[in-house]
């Protein structure tokens, strides 16, 4: 499994000409004509270099499925130009890192998952619902495949915008992976998000078990705190205000590279 520091990129330093006040956003597969633009966007908004083989696989649909967002309201020479994209690949469920979370149906043979590789929206098209629509396209496609059991991805732990997006789309955060990403010789944690489909949802993930324990402990702490009402006020305040429910903590974004024009997952 590759460890691309990828996914939700809703930021870019690129300029986009001819943006309408009411853009007409359409979604289509990425094709060979998108090659140069796709490479440009990845260069501008990701902190790592992708091999040319990756881009060739995307535009030619070799073991990768993809969706492009374009704005038909732009001038003719830009009306079919990428302003957003998502790339993904099929993974056998039994060979994936979440095989223990999948409820298998033996009658369906070799079951698969879709793993999101890269995902981005250029800066001038942010906050228009394009990111949500792109991921929704993946979910809709996966849901139409009877052997597909889910869509999953990794997100760097401090990318709160992307985490909120996945939660809004009903992805489930099932694991925290310590030191998953290595960027500029620094390690960063990642969260593993899954959208279960076609009856594959497990009754309770390891993270949900942990959350149950955390909440139970929190209720116990409050009980003890109430009995210590006459103790040190500062200590009591800590007991009540400590955020023990925070599964996706807000963190200060570390310096990841020379460019500040990306926000990645």
> What is the mean pLDDT of the segment spanning 3-18?
46
Tell me the C-alpha distance between 254 and 90, whole Å: 32
Q: What pLDDT, on the 0 to 100 scale, is given for residue 209? A: 55
Answer whether 64's CB lies under 8 Å from 29's CB. no
Q: Which residues contact 128 (CB under 8 A, 6 or more apart)?
A: 23, 25
Percent of the chain whose pLDDT exceeds 90: 54
SS3 at position 184: coil
Look up the pTM and report it.
Answer: 0.70
Percent of the chain whose pLDDT exceeds 70: 66
Confidence of residue 183 (pLDDT cuts 50, 70, 90): confident
pLDDT tens profile 218-249:
545 544 444 444 444 333 222 222 232 223 32
Q: What pLDDT, on the 0 to 100 scale, is given for residue 214? A: 55
Q: What pLDDT, on the 0 to 100 scale, is given for residue 220? A: 53
pLDDT tens profile 103-124:
877 666 789 999 999 999 999 9
Confidence of residue 135 (pLDDT cuts 50, 70, 90): very high
Minimum mean pLDDT range among 19-28, 78-87, 172-181, 203-212: 203-212
Of residues 148, 113, 120, 154, the one with CA closest to residue 134: 120
Q: Is the pLDDT of residue 95 over 50?
A: yes
Phi, psi of 152 (to 5 degrees): -140, 165
Confidence of residue 211 (pLDDT cuts 50, 70, 90): low
> 241 or 82, which is more confident?
82
Confidence of residue 20 (pLDDT cuts 50, 70, 90): low
Q: Is the pLDDT of residue 69 over 90?
A: yes
Residue written as token pair 């790592």 = 48
Joined together, the tokens standing for residue 138 give: 């993946």
Answer whether 171's CB lies under 8 Å from 207's CB. no
Tell me the C-alpha distance between 194 and 86, whole Å: 16
Q: Is the pLDDT of residue 216 over 50?
A: no
């Amino acid at each position: 499994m590759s460890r691309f520091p990828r996914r939700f990129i809703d930021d870019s330093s690129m300029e986009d000409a001819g943006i309408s006040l009411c853009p007409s956003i359409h979604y289509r597969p990425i094709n060979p004509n998108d090659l140069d633009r796709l490479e440009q966007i990845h260069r501008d908004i990701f902190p790592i270099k992708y091999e040319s083989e990756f881009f060739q696989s995307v535009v030619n649909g070799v073991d990768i499925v993809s969706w492009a967002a374009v704005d038909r309201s732009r001038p003719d020479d830009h009306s079919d130009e990428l302003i957003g994209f998502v790339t993904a690949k099929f993974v056998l469920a039994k060979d994936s890192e979440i095989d223990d979370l999948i409820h298998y149906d033996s009658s369906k043979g070799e079951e698969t998952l879709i793993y999101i590789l890269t995902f981005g929206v250029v800066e001038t098209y942010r906050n228009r619902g394009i990111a949500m629509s792109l991921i929704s396209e993946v979910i809709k496609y996966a849901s139409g495949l009877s052997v597909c059991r889910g869509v999953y991805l990794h997100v760097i732990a401090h990318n709160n915008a992307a985490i909120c997006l996945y939660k809004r789309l009903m992805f489930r955060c099932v694991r925290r992976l310590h030191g998953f990403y290595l960027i500029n010789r620094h390690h960063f944690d990642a969260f593993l998000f899954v959208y279960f489909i076609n009856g594959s949802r497990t009754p309770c993930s390891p993270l949900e078990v942990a959350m149950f324990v955390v909440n139970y402990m929190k209720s116990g702490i409050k009980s003890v705190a109430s009995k210590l009402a006459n103790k040190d006020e500062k200590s009591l305040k800590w007991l009540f205000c400590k955020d023990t429910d925070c599964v996706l903590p807000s963190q200060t974004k570390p310096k990841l590279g020379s460019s500040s024009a990306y926000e990645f997952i």
